[in-house]
Structure 1
């Protein structure tokens, strides 16, 4: 049983969200964990940077798993998600914040585009 009101709110938000809103939540989570990765890198906290980076990679993997690659747009997104994940892996291994920043910017672009799609669909 969830006793924390914030956790209850978040749980309800996820349970009642449309598929489009869930995708938006994933993008926002990926951006949040990119920011945590960058903060940890700046503080030289290698373990926290690694953990946060892995969370972003997990989110990108989840987004990638939901693609329908029967269509060209799905195939293109698959390649782009692979590129983002590669940037994150290299940034993590090389302790290179610029690669994480580049990944975050791509994620932001997709998130912003997705927000527009949701607005247009309503």
Structure 2
């Protein structure tokens, strides 16, 4: 099925050609985007749109939780933090508390920034190995 929307085609191509690490980074960025949208909608008093945005952020956190390989201790610790983030999003959504959204966003930002560094380190190692050939 061909698409007439170049932006949609670009998005599809970006997702289908990204590495698993890049996809995880996209999930973190998407989660942060939806948390920010939820906070903005709450500030405007648009509770329905706030709810939709926060539920999208929760869905991303759930996906991150489901894809963890819990055979590693670090993954088990990450799972606990993801569960905490999810609980902050749920409680913030119920109580209309932007501080809870901020708390969740802070943790996701830490994960995102760390993940970004890991990707950059792996790329530099990959490219240094290529130059040795």
TM-score by length of 1: 0.98
Corresponding residue of 1:34: 35
Measure the CA separation in 2 of the matches of 1:101 and 1:112. 16
Which structure's CA Rg is the greater one?
2
Moved over 4 A (4+): none
Q: Secondary structure at the match of 1:106?
A: helix
TM-score by length of 2: 0.90
Deviation at 1:16, TM superposition (A): 0.2
Measure the CA separation in 1 of the matches of 2:44 and 2:28. 25
State whether structure 2 residue 97 is matched by structure 1 residue 102.
Answer: no
Deviation at 1:59, TM superposition (A): 0.1
Corresponding residue of 2:82: 81
Deviation at 1:116, TM superposition (A): 0.1
Deviation at 1:105, TM superposition (A): 1.1
Give the alignment of 1:8-27 within 5 angstroms: 8-27=9-28
Aligned residues: 122
State whether structure 2 residue 86 is matched by structure 1 residue 56.
Answer: no
CA RMSD of aligned residues (A): 0.6
Where relative contact order (Cα < 8 A, 6+ residues apart) is larger, the structure is 1
Measure the CA separation in 1 of the matches of 2:98 and 2:81. 19
Q: Which runs of 5+ in 1 are unaligned?
A: none
Deviation at 1:2, TM superposition (A): 2.3
Deviation at 1:45, TM superposition (A): 0.3
Measure the CA separation in 2 of the matches of 1:3 and 1:58. 29
Q: Which runs of 5+ in 2 are unaligned?
A: 124-133
